[in-house]
Amino acid sequence: MLAFSLTTPPSGLLSQPLLHARSPLCPSIPFRTRVSHGQSTFTHSIKTPSLPRHSPHHGPTMEVATHHVPTLYHVPWFCSSVPYQLVLELAIPPTSLDVITITEAQLRTSSEIEFLSPRRLVPFIAFPDGSVLLELGAIVLYMCETFDTEHTLHPPPGDPRRPRFFQGVVYAVAEAYRAVMDVFRETFGKADSGINKPVVAKLRDRFSIVVVEHLVLELEEQGRMYYLGDEFSAVDILFGYILMTAKCTDAGLLENEFVREYHDRIVERPAYKELFSRASVR
């Protein structure tokens, strides 16, 4: 059985407490945070004037550090890996989109995180104006539209592949991701004796229809290397994550040779390797 083991998050992890809430009496003390950009990790200092914000969960006001640039929150191995891979693929500088890597424990306990993402889910992007963008599919589309100005990972308006791109993003998030997570939840980290086999069998069948048959129909039968054709796109990043999760279930979800080969092509991406080499699988 595969199990995830997180290394110390190497990038973007804020010192404790998670976000420094500064006293309004002392509003603008710079602190240091490590940020990661593409291949390099470096340190710079930012100023964090705290602003009182209204929070339904924490009384009338709560101190939350200001984000000076749009900031993606990421937990290693979680589906925030998808937008993080986009950051690496597109070499988005931290001056345009910063990445803060937090731990599972921080995601589940930090009041600042709950304030930003009330259901305590990643990914999310916190903006300098205080707004927050939730939902993986929306984040992928937002990042493509904002940062992929050369259209290397998504087709431009007028491109005949564009409708398939939208279909792929929405299908991957709404259908395929759910199908794999249902198996994952029933199997991952459980001893064989603790697995409800009839339930898992049903969920495996569903995964076969929703993910495997879909990919066979959309890719193999159309002679496509990737979801949009010969060119890798953001849709393949989503499916790469879904297939990686499928592999980690150890439930035999990747028996189809074509799907395995598609997954093998995706994991060869340097950005994929960089992303997942930052956490370890044992």
Residues making contact with ligand GSH (CB under 6 A): 78-79, 107-108, 120-122, 135-136, 173
Nearer Cβ to ligand GSH (35/176): 176
Residue 115 C-beta: closest distance to ligand GSH, Å: 15
Residue 101 C-beta: closest distance to ligand GSH, Å: 13
Evaluated on CA atoms 195, 197, 203, 206, the torsion sign reads: positive
Nearer Cβ to ligand GSH (36/110): 110
Residue 18 C-beta: closest distance to ligand GSH, Å: 15
Nearer Cβ to ligand GSH (153/169): 169
Nearer Cβ to ligand GSH (179/219): 179
Residue 192 C-beta: closest distance to ligand GSH, Å: 23
Residue 211 C-beta: closest distance to ligand GSH, Å: 16
Residue 5 C-beta: closest distance to ligand GSH, Å: 16
Nearer Cβ to ligand GSH (72/90): 72
Evaluated on CA atoms 243, 247, 252, 258, the torsion sign reads: positive
User: Which H, E and C letters describe the chain, residue by residue?
Assistant: CCCEECCCCCCCCCCCCCCCCCCCCCCCCEEEEEEEECCEEEEEEEECCEEEECCCCCCCCEEEECCCCCEEEECCCCCCHHHHHHHHHCCCCCCCCEEEECCHHHHHHCHHHHHHCCCCCCCEEECCCCCEEECHHHHHHHHHHHHCCCCCCCCCCCCCCHHHHHHHHHHHHHHHHHHHHHHHHHHCCCCHHHCCHHHHHHHHHHHHHHHHHHHHHHHHCCCCCECCECCCCHHHHHHHHHHHHHHHCCCCCCCCHHHHHHHHHHHCCHHHHHHHHCCEEC
Nearer Cβ to ligand GSH (144/219): 144
Residue 140 C-beta: closest distance to ligand GSH, Å: 10
Nearer Cβ to ligand GSH (90/102): 102
